Structure 1
Amino acid sequence: MMIGKTLLAAAAAVGAGCVARAAWGVLPSIGASRSAIRPYAAASPRYRDNRFHNSDPGSSLPDGSQSGLAKAFLTRGTVGTPPRQIPLATPLAPTTAGELAVTWLGHASVLIEIDGRRVLTDPVWSERVSPSDVVGPARMHPMPMALADLPHIDAVVVSHDHYDHLDRATITALARNRSTTFVVPLGVGAHLRRWHVPADRIVELDWDESTDVVGLTLTCTEARHFSGRGLARDTTLWASWVIAGENRRVFFGGDSGYTARFADVGRRYGPFDVTLLPIGAYDERWPDIHMTPEEAVRVHRDVGGGVLVPVHWATFNLAFHPWGEPVERLLDAAGQAGVRVAVPMVGQRIDGLHPPETTQWWR
């Protein structure tokens, strides 16, 4: 199984043997095989020795053994869980998409309105981020909106294939009930085809490649991370995304460690009205693949961001830091750097041009 954060956390919860038993029969959720992915990945200059590589070398594995990390998850107790029920806002979905608005649905799932179109990032509606519905990290709050209640979505953008960003049940539901275009990094399309998403609705891109969807330009850009849903690692690409309309631009950081190459993204595609940047699941044992809140502020400045909206925190317990620590550290760093931050409640729709004052709802 995947050595990364999802199944390590599952192993800590119930033990590797139980994970194996719980995973029985869930091969379809794991996705496409290496042989099915390779034809779409092999042409990329980033694909060598049957795997993708970061531009900046770094470890995607925590220091120490797998069993040592599993023990750490097992003994962390309530660290990383909220002290009380997480408050939810009631999502608002205007009939016509706005000029610029974002609705944070939890973790990295964000409904973006830009120049009258809607883009949904990393949609995950399942209860657990795992190939199994029995074990694996469970969400700490319900989704604030049912899939059936989503307004029309013009494009779904996926950053990479980890379970907390690419969810089979959600993808198949969206593909079955909507005409949405799925825009993904190289190789990820093989998972979608495995799940019977029509091939003509899938667009796969390498870094610095773009596609146009109903007047929006979606550009796949660099990130520093890794991929994998089964035994094979790094067979599909990971990415950040530029979402550009005629008048407005949004940068979605996906899931990434810090890299100075974000400054190149800013020079080529910025500035941005809004950045959606990950601030959670950081740890000194994996500094290269998850940025800290302070590094998120740095990325925001590197790409030329206007308003920073934090994502990738509060929904799944994937590390060892306290639940509210990421946003507190973010606000401290942003205040020192003079960066504008908007921290929506889960489910809250905020105007990207005139964001409301942050209410410190997490306290």
Structure 2
Amino acid sequence: MKTFGKKSTGARLERIKASPLWDGDRFRNQYPIAPGLRNPDTSMPSILDFICGGERRVPVAPLPSMNPLESWRHKPDSGLRATWLGHSTVLIEIDGLRVLTDPVWGQRASPSRIAGPKRFQPVPVALKAMPPVDLIVISHDHYDHLDYFTIKALAKSDVPFVTSLGVGAHLEAFGIAPERITELDWWETYTLPNTGLTVTAAPSQHFSGRGIKDRNTTLWSSLVIKSEKHSVFFSGDTGLTGQYEEIKNRLGPFDLIMLEVGAFHPAWGDIHLGPENAMKAHALLGGGAFLPVHWGTFNLAMHAWDAPAEALFLHAEKSNIPLIMPQLGQAVEPIQTELVKPWWRAVDTAELPKSETEKGDQNAESPLPKSMPWPLD
């Protein structure tokens, strides 16, 4: 399937093997798993748990959202503005430039159009209606961060891409010209030509792969986006790692910190933050306006769809964390943060009877391709 992407070969593979993060046959996390990140009393969920477990995993109605096009016509007063478009897709406007993170407009976080986690929340603006962007950054190659159909559409533009080592092979397979792709190892920096904008790849605690035979053959990264006046941290996907303190010391401070908070599980604490560990990560990074991402779009774990938002809202209020929780499509400037309103509570979460189609999907013999990695993101 074309959606799986392509393996690295030639000079790209040699560069991968030269990375200090490469361990003979694959990339490996460098920081020891902190005690307590994996609950010893909780077993790893099965595929059956993923398909049938948990309650209220999908809202019964679309989440409230805004069309950001009018806001985007006017430059941000502060020079820095972020618009959450769903999951980990954010349009960052930073001192006259636009940077798009992990763009996913596809309907499923899967190599298949008919199976795998389906989007339950539409993107608030069509891809073809997006304003021109100056740079696209992609943290790693999982399907909810690297979408074949979105990249194929973006291949028609000339925007450059910055991503982690090895992911460029997928981008090329999806139609992106090689000269538009820059791949970074941790602590390497890319400078957008003729601007003062830089992107630095930094550590994260995760994994990679788009099938069962390519596990950890591409790198995963967090990304720091800097202009001459502002700095933004984007976590990609990660578990809690003490390397965040090193990131703060080497690349901080940050005006905006975007951390993943959804798709968490007691057995996945080393690869996904979840709300509680996201707040710890925020502290390690030195604080700053906190925009949670990686929630409210795909059903990727057994928790309720709004659990990340609710937990963050309650804990951040007690901890006095400068939390930003805009509706989808709402353009916000970190310097102008207001008191968070729990807008997600207005969504009707009462269970509705399953349609015959949904029942059929659940009873399908093979709802996910056999070559899907696990966990899915």
SS at match of 2:284: helix
> Distance between the aligned counterparts of 1:337 and 1:261, measured in 2?
22
> What's the C-alpha RMSD, in Å, of the aligned pairs?
2.2
Q: Provide the residue aligned with 1:168 in structure 2.
A: 148
The correspondence for 1:53, drawn from 15, 23, 28, is: 28
The correspondence for 1:44, drawn from 2, 16, 19, is: 19
Contact 1:350 1:356 in 2 (8 A): no
Alignment map for 1:1-363 (pairs within 5 Å): 27-33=1-7, 35=9, 38-58=13-33, 69-76=46-53, 78-92=55-69, 93-95=71-73, 97-98=75-76, 99-176=79-156, 178-213=157-192, 214-231=195-212, 232-363=214-345
SS at match of 2:343: coil
Say how many residue pairs are matched: 335
> Distance between the aligned counterparts of 1:262 and 1:170, measured in 2?
30
- The offset of 1:94, in angstroms, is 2.7
> Distance between the aligned counterparts of 1:39 and 1:204, measured in 2?
13
> How has the CA–CA distance of structure 1 residues 356 and 300 changed in structure 2, closer, same or farther, with 3 Å as cutoff?
same
Letter in structure 1 aligned against 2:93? E
- The offset of 1:171, in angstroms, is 1.2
- The offset of 1:34, in angstroms, is 5.1
- The offset of 1:257, in angstroms, is 0.3
Contact 2:54 2:302 in 1 (8 A): no
> How has the CA–CA distance of structure 1 residues 65 and 266 changed in structure 2, closer, same or farther, with 3 Å as cutoff?
closer
- Give deviations 1:70-110, integer Å, cap 9, x for gaps: 11123226431124331111113534643100000000000
Letter in structure 1 aligned against 2:210? R
Task: Compute the TM-score of the two structures, normalised by the length of structure 1.
Answer: 0.87
> How has the CA–CA distance of structure 1 residues 174 and 96 changed in structure 2, closer, same or farther, with 3 Å as cutoff?
farther
SS at match of 2:342: coil
> Distance between the aligned counterparts of 1:61 and 1:293, measured in 2?
15
Amino-acid identity (%)? 44
- Give deviations 1:141-170, integer Å, cap 9, x for gaps: 111111111111111000100000001111
> Distance between the aligned counterparts of 1:70 and 1:225, measured in 2?
19
Contact 1:128 1:139 in 2 (8 A): yes
- Give deviations 1:166-216, integer Å, cap 9, x for gaps: 01111121121x221100000001111122211111010000000111321
> How has the CA–CA distance of structure 1 residues 62 and 239 changed in structure 2, closer, same or farther, with 3 Å as cutoff?
farther
- Greater mean alpha carbon deviation, residues 353-362 or residues 178-187: 353-362
> How has the CA–CA distance of structure 1 residues 87 and 324 changed in structure 2, closer, same or farther, with 3 Å as cutoff?
same
More strand, by proportion: 1
SS at match of 1:118: strand
> Distance between the aligned counterparts of 2:248 and 2:172, measured in 1?
33
> Distance between the aligned counterparts of 1:207 and 1:330, measured in 2?
29
- Give deviations 1:25-55, integer Å, cap 9, x for gaps: xx21100125466234111010112200111
- The offset of 1:137, in angstroms, is 0.5
Q: Provide the residue aligned with 2:359 in structure 1.
A: none
Gaps of 5+ in 2: 346-377
Task: Compute the TM-score of the two structures, normalised by the length of structure 2.
Answer: 0.84
Contact 2:55 2:302 in 1 (8 A): no
